Amino acid sequence: MIFFKSGYLFRNAPLVLIFLMLTCMAKAQVFTNDAKIAADYLASIDSILAKGTTIQASDAQKALEAGASGITLDLTRPADNVMDAGNLYEYAKKATVITGCAYLCPRCTNIHVSESSGYIIDPKGVLVTNYHVAATFAFMKDGNQPKGFFARLANGRTYAVKAILASSRKDDLAVLQLETNGDLLPALALGQPAKVGDKIYVLGHPQGMHYFFSQGNVTNKYLEEAGASGQKFFREMMCISADYATGSSGGPVMDMYGNVVGTVSNTRMLLHSNRDAGVQMVVKNTVPVESLWKLIRK
């Protein structure tokens, strides 16, 4: 709290005004410079690649095909205090990562990075993302040559993925281990299952818009039919109304306490009919935390 002597404000109005303006500026949020984040990320990846510490695509393939489950984790205790949206954003941002698949294309000698999302659940560097994000690196197509798999934190630090601890193609989940060199990282807690109608928040990186924050509600929980023809299966899905897009895959879906209740997975357009291709609505599918618990519990 600030105190002023009687008459001080009138005699020193200009100084007081400057002081108040500087105070407000200090509290203002910085505008995200997406181009700089992408450039810095690429530079840090180049540095790590020179040391050769990242998982190889062949090892990632074996791990994903094995589909291991049940791992020992040091999970963060769930929070039970409601956070306002602004504080929840700042809290979750620290533990939400930009996953990056580094690769060489057939047309040039420059390293490219395919970005997605993920979040830390164990301070020792264990993160969750989608199976299809990890598979993008492990089973790279179109003549692209995979060079490394990485994760960048909001503080600018970049770490190499050194192992895939668990995965489920069916539930579109992968649990990765980072090479942290002893660093302890901010982590999000896993919460209780969300219910239809619950308020939720999403943080991710849609099409290079880093740390895009949206909110909405759980709109449905259902069994989605998935898989190729002749290999159909059903999996648990949680629909939400919060916005996200390509690049948000693997990002956290959180409750009002900042606990994870889901993981962004995919979207599905509902058309009027085969004859009328007009889009009527977009279903936003996320993997409920129940599926993640089943994957990591021994």
Q: String of b and e for 3-15 (b: at least 16 CB within 10 Å)?
A: eeeeeeeeeeeee
Lowest mean pLDDT among 5-9, 14-18, 29-33, 243-247: 5-9
pTM value?
A: 0.89
In the numeric block, the tokens 């709290």 are attached to 1
Residue 71: pLDDT over 90: yes
* Fold for the domain defined by 34-179: Thrombin, subunit H (2.40.10)
What token pair was written down for 15?
A: 């100084």
Whether 34-179 and 199-296 share one fold: the answer is: yes
Q: 104: pLDDT confidence band, cut at 50, 70 and 90?
A: very high
pLDDT band at 21, cuts 50/70/90?
A: low
Angle (CA) 161-40-214 rounded to 5° is: 80
Q: Give Cα 59 to chain centroid, integer Å.
A: 23
Which CATH entry fits the domain spanning 199-296: 3.40.50.920, 3.30.43.10, 1.20.20.10, 2.40.10.10? 2.40.10.10
Q: What percent of the chain has pLDDT over 90?
A: 82
Average pLDDT, the chain: 92
- Do residues 215 and 285 lie in contact, with contact meaning Cβ atoms separated by under 8 Å? no
pLDDT at 289 over 70: yes
Cα–Cα distance for residue pair 12/113, rounded to 1 Å? 54
pLDDT at 60 over 60: yes
- Three-state DSSP class for residue 171: coil
Residue 1 pLDDT class (50, 70, 90 cuts) = very low
Per-domain residue ranges of the chain: 34-179, 199-296
User: What pLDDT is stored for residue 19 in this prediction?
Assistant: 57
Kindly report, residue by residue over 140-172, the tens digit of the pLDDT: 999 999 999 999 999 999 999 999 999 999 999
